[in-house]
Every structure is written in structure tokens, then in C-alpha cells.
């Protein structure tokens, strides 16, 4: 097992009061194997530091079978040191010799499960594995490219913000401008779709494919998909005939096939399955299977010279993505407007509907210069505001339908528009199909639905 780091193992991290005193009296430190005798039985296991918000009345052990248990202090009769352990550490193996004939690629790590290990304190995972560590534990990468690595962030993806998107887009623009032939970004899966959309808009005319990749299982678990995903992502970034921004994850729960999704048309549709990511309202751009890339979409931009490569890296944080629900108060919108918000993406019901009491408020906000766009909670299909009276009233109020654009992609695009362009251009840019965020038409596809 890999641990989150050695610092917390050098002291009785998280323990206080009577339990801390008992441990100190017996010369026990976190990481030591101890025997604990209680009122009714005896336990042997590794002492685990306490999580900072956990109750202080318990001692935590990781038993030999791998389970964590908590033992209440008033049930403990005695403890004894069984075996003293030095703090566990991760020792990377030396990287393989790099052939000078291989293309030059870079892995930029932002954190997430693919760059995580089991948290010693909680049994969960935390960002801890560096980009260089990834190279050492996936030696196959050295056979694909001369790989450099950089840890840009080490955070859970739910902590990513617009400022992180700006920093990441600038970093990738720099690497590609310096001649790197492959770029892979490791990222937590929860918000990987948002970041993929952000890069799709921020980086114009990318000469090579930029591949975002994550993992549903941490790198030190036997069932981890980190290695197979990372190898496939590197192959794709080096060999794919297309350019642009893509997300690569499992195409099925087993390792045979990886799906390569457009960065603006991908959504995480399952909490834990390896194949949690699906392309919405379109096919995957391609599949990676048995070392080969099978392209499915015919409108993908080709690899191109870097001469036309541009960057528009700014994002305005004063944008809200609001999911409409029954009896929603219009005050939510006025509250945000009063605090300086410049635009709203609404997730409406069905074809793009909200209740009629909201329409007058939205109309006033549009007159005040607020940008308001409509998407659908249905995920699949497209917005149509011309079918029912409520939709036509929204159109008359100035609400703009966004066809089949994903709500998350719409949120990112509006933030990007307001961050880079003058307001007079925002509506035209939002309506334009810049990075395949719109599908020209919706067709019935038997494999479109999740799990089919």
C-alpha cells in the first residue's frame, strides 16, 4: 500500500487527551503495529492517525485484513507495541532509457484519482502521486515517447476554478508552442468535462490532440484503470490524425477499448463505473483499441502546423449555472444579478421550459444587460422554445436557446466569452459552433443511451 506521505506518520497526528497520553506512554507512533486489549477481545493492527474532524474518543487501527476500525477509549484495557515501522514511502524505479528517435511528449498533472494514493488516515484517496511517479509506475510510457512531466496542480477536481483553467491553458499553449508532439493532462473525473470544454474554447487551432485522462480507481488499487488509461492517452496524443481537445476514458468496464470523446460533448454519467464518461448527442470521436485508433466522426480537425495556434485564456467568474426546479423563486436570479453576475445558463425542463412566473424577471434582467441562455435537464436531445407557449414567451423575453449544447459546456463557454470579448460580440459567439459544442442535427443512435 502507498501512503499519502510520511509527515503525518512521524507523530500522533490527530490524537489528543487520554488516548494520546496512552500512546506516548507505550512509545507508539502512527504506522506501528500494536496489540489492543479491550473489555471483550483483542485486536492487532497498524495505528492510523485520526482524521482532524473525527471524534477524539477513538483509536483507529487498520487490521491485518485491511479494514479500518475505531476502538473507543473507555473500552481499552491496554495497548502494546508489536512491531516498530519506519514511515512508508514511495520509491520510484529509475525511468527506462529514452530513445532519441521517439517523439517528445509531456504529462501535465492536475491531481485527481489518477494521481492519488490511499489516504493513510481515512482509507480514502488524496492527491499525492506526482507526474514523475506516474512515469515510474507506468514504464510503458517510455516506449511511446520521450516523456517529460510537470505537476501543475495537486488538487481534487471539485476544487478547480476558472483561474485554474486559465493557468492550465497558458501552460499547454507554452508546451505546444515549444514543439511538444504529445500532451496528456491527468485530471480528476468529477469536473474533467468542464476543464475539457474550457481548453476547447481557450486554445484555438491546436496543432495536436490534447488528451485529458482520469481514473475511477486510484493508482495503487489492483482494479485501477490509471495505467491503461494513461498509456492509451499517450498513444492517442502521439498517433491520432486529428487535433483538438479530447477526454479519453474506458469505453467499457474492461480494458479492451478506450473511448475518445470531444471535449465539449462529454459527460460523466456514472459515479463509479470505469466507463462513466459518454459522448452526448454524438458518437465518440474515436476509439483506441489494440494499439489502433479508429476514428468515428468525419468532421474532426486534422493535425496542423502551429502557425495559426492561438490562445484566449480568460474566464469570467460572474456566470451561474442554474437548474430549474418546481416553484423556484425568481429572487434567486435577482439576488445574483445584484451581486454582479453577468450571465445565467438555465437548465430547463424538457424542451427548455421554466414556470411562467419566472419569465417577467428574466425579461427584465435581459433588458438590464444580463445574458440568459437555455439548456435542458434531459441531457440528450435539444432545446426547442417554439413548441409551447411557455417557450415562445421565453424567446420573446430574450432568452436564447442553445440547441443541444451540454449545460456544463454552455456554462464554460459563457464564462469564456465574457472573459475574452466585448459584450457586443457575446451573443454571436455563443451561437457560433466553435469547438463542436453543437451537433448539426440529432439522430437516433442505438448506442446513445448510457449502459446500452
**Catalytic one of 46, 166, 186, 189:** 189
Interhelix angle 407-420/162-177, rounded to 10 degrees, is 70
Neighbours of 155 (CB within 10 A): 16
CA dihedral 212, 217, 220, 225 (to 10 degrees): -60
Cell 466553435, located at residue:
434
Neighbours of 397 (CB within 10 A): 18
Beta-bridged to residue 149, according to DSSP, are 107
CA dihedral 424, 436, 271, 112 (to 10 degrees): -80
422 vs 409, 427, 428, 431, CA distance in Å?
20, 10, 11, 15
Q: Is position 390 annotated as part of the catalytic site?
A: no
Do 1 and 56 contact (CB within 8 A), yes or no?
no
Neighbours of 176 (CB within 10 A): 22
**Catalytic one of 265, 268, 283, 413:** 268
**Catalytic one of 13, 148, 190, 316:** 190
Distance CA 141, CA 135 (A): 7
**Catalytic one of 113, 186, 206, 375:** 113
Q: What are phi and psi of 410, to 5 degrees?
A: -65, -40
DSSP annotation of 190 reads T
Q: Is position 268 annotated as part of the catalytic site?
A: yes
Q: Coil, strand, or helix at residue 423?
A: helix
Q: What residues are annotated to the active site? A: 113, 189-190, 268
Amino acid at each position: 500500500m502507498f501512503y499519502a506521505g510520511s509527515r503525518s506518520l512521524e507523530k500522533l497526528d490527530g490524537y489528543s487527551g487520554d488516548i494520546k497520553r496512552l500512546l506516548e506512554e507505550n512509545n507508539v507512533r502512527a504506522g506501528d503495529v500494536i496489540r489492543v486489549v479491550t473489555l471483550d477481545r483483542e485486536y492487532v493492527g497498524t495505528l492510523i492517525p485520526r482524521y482532524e474532524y473525527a471524534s477524539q474518543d477513538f483509536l483507529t487501527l487498520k487490521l491485518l485484513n485491511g479494514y479500518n476500525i475505531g476502538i473507543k477509549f473507555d473500552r481499552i484495557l491496554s495497548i502494546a507495541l508489536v512491531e516498530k515501522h519506519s514511515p512508508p514511502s514511495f520509491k520510484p524505479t529509475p525511468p527506462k532509457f529514452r530513445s532519441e528517435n521517439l517523439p517528445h511528449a509531456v504529462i501535465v498533472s492536475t491531481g485527481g484519482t489518477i494521481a492519488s494514493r490511499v489516504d493513510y488516515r481515512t482509507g480514502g484517496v488524496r492527491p499525492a502521486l506526482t507526474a514523475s511517479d506516474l512515469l515510474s509506475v507506468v514504464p510503458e510510457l517510455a516506449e511511446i515517447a520521450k516523456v517529460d512531466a510537470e505537476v501543475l496542480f495537486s488538487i481534487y477536481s471539485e476544487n478547480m476554478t476558472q483561474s485554474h483553467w486559465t493557468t492550465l491553458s497558458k501552460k499547454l499553449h507554452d508546451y505546444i508552442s515549444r514543439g511538444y508532439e504529445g500532451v496528456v493532462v491527468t485530471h480528476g473525473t468529477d469536473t474533467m468535462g468542464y476543464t475539457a470544454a474550457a481548453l476547447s474554447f481557450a486554445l484555438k487551432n491546436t496543432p495536436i490532440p490534447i488528451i485529458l485522462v482520469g481514473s475511477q480507481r486510484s493508482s495503487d488499487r489492483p482494479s485501477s484503470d490509471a495505467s491503461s488509461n494513461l498509456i492509451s492517452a499517450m498513444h492517442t496524443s502521439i498517433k491520432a490524425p486529428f487535433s483538438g481537445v479530447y477526454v479519453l476514458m474506458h469505453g467499457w468496464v474492461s480494458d479492451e477499448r478506450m473511448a475518445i470523446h470531444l471535449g465539449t460533448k462529454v459527460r460523466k454519467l456514472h459515479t463509479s463505473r470505469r466507463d462513466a464518461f459518454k459522448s452526448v448527442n454524438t458518437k465518440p470521436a474515436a476509439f483506441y483499441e489494440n494499439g489502433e485508433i479508429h476514428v468515428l466522426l468525419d468532421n474532426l480537425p486534422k493535425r496542423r502546423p502551429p502557425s495559426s495556434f492561438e490562445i484566449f485564456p480568460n474566464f469570467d467568474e460572474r456566470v451561474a449555472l442554474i437548474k430549474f426546479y418546481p416553484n423556484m423563486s425568481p429572487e434567486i436570479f435577482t439576488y445574483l444579478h445584484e451581486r454582479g453576475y453577468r450571465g445565467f445558463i438555465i437548465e430547463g425542463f424538457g424542451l427548455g421550459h421554466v414556470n411562467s412566473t419566472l419569465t417577467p424577471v428574466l425579461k427584465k434582467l435581459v433588458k438590464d444587460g444580463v445574458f440568459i441562455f437555455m439548456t435542458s435537464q434531459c441531457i440528450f436531445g435539444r432545446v426547442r422554445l417554439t413548441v409551447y407557449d411557455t417557450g415562445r414567451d421565453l424567446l420573446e423575453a430574450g432568452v436564447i436557446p442553445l440547441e443541444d449544447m451540454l449545460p456544463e459546456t454552455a456554462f464554460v463557454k459563457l464564462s469564456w466569452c465574457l472573459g475574452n470579448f466585448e459584450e457586443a460580440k457575446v451573443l454571436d459567439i455563443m451561437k457560433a459552433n466553435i469547438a463542436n459544442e453543437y451537433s448539426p442535427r440529432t439522430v437516433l443512435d442505438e448506442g446513445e443511451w448510457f449502459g446500452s
